[in-house]
């Protein structure tokens, strides 16, 4: 789903066209292009944002007790910005590995793996080149994590207070599903702009996030900011559910076996 989403955002093709092109060019393996970068991204970005958010949430509840929804969103945004800065290099390589298919053969990067992509970018663009698109990536992460983590925490509290769902995996599953809907709708416009910036191959300097969003609206229409929503949500919903349920379960296990 991530492969299809990124290629749709770069090529402007439909989901069907993108899927057929991917399969005809690389076969079934084409849908897992950039897997090494995707895994490395999760090991850097996701672990950082979840760890930072959980820590900030625990500190906030210890010092201030009940936290409102705005505060939860704010903590999620802080965690997202910090985590995305750490994970930007792997996110950059992931975008380039997936988007290569949409470029002429002579302009393709042809990274063999995420590690080779990182070293190649470092060699050709400098160490700072690994953080190309860091600002829109951090902006996207602020929206994604503020909506995802803040809404997930708030949804769990609301569902629990209704009495219909008690603590456990059912509560975590329902809250994560609610969170994924809000997260996708709020974050995909920034995600589209971020993908275009990180895949910028023109001789001119890539535009900033606001300029890119304005340009997309002018040239392709407002609805284009939600291009690739179906694969985006199809990826984000199960990803959010699995991530948040596992994180909560591991969190509970940690405090069970290693009480503070």
**pLDDT of the chain, 260 residues: tens digit per residue:** 889 988 888 887 888 999 998 999 889 999 999 999 999 999 999 999 999 999 999 999 998 888 899 999 999 999 999 999 999 999 999 989 988 877 777 778 888 899 999 999 999 999 999 998 898 889 889 988 999 999 999 999 888 888 777 778 999 999 999 999 998 888 888 888 888 887 777 767 777 888 888 988 998 899 888 888 888 888 888 988 999 999 989 988 988 898 86
Give the span between the Cα atoms of 241 and 234, in whole angstroms: 12
Do residues 193 and 213 make contact, with C-beta atoms less than 8 angstroms apart? yes
Calculate the alpha carbon distances from 120 to 39, 123, 134 in Å. 19, 5, 18
CATH number of the structural domain 2-257: 1.50.40.10
* Model pLDDT, residue 64: 87
Q: Taking the mean position of all CA atoms in its chain, how far away is CA 115?
A: 20
Q: Where are the domains of the chain?
A: 2-257
Instruction: Please list, in sequence order, all residues whose beta carbon lies within 8 angstroms of the beta carbon of residue 166, skipping any fewer than 6 positions away.
Output: 160
* Model pLDDT, residue 106: 76
pTM: 0.80
């Amino acid at each position: 789903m991530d492969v299809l989403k990124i290629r749709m955002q770069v090529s402007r093709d439909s989901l069907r066209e993108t899927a057929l092109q991917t399969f005809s060019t690389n076969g079934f393996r084409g849908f897992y292009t950039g897997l090494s970068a995707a895994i490395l991204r999760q090991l850097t970005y996701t672990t950082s944002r979840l760890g930072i958010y959980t820590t900030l949430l625990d500190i906030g509840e210890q010092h201030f007790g009940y936290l409102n929804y705005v505060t939860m969103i704010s903590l999620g945004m802080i965690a997202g910005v910090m985590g995305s800065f750490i994970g930007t290099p792997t996110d950059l390589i992931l975008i380039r590995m997936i988007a290569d298919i949409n470029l002429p053969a002579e302009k393709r990067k042809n990274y063999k793996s995420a590690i080779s992509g990182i070293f190649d970018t470092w060699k050709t663009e400098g160490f700072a080149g690994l953080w190309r698109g860091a600002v829109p990536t951090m902006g996207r992460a602020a929206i994604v994590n503020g909506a995802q983590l803040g809404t997930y925490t708030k949804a769990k509290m609301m569902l629990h207070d209704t009495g219909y769902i008690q603590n456990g995996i059912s509560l975590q599953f329902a809250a994560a599903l609610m969170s994924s809907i809000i997260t996708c709708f709020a974050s995909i416009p920034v995600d589209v702009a971020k993908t275009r910036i990180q895949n910028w191959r023109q001789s001119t300097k890539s535009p900033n996030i606001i300029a890119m969003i304005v340009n997309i609206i002018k040239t392709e229409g407002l609805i284009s900011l939600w291009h690739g929503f179906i694969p985006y949500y199809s990826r984000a919903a199960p990803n959010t559910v699995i991530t948040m349920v596992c994180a909560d379960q591991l969190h509970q296990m940690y405090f069970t076996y290693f009480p503070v």
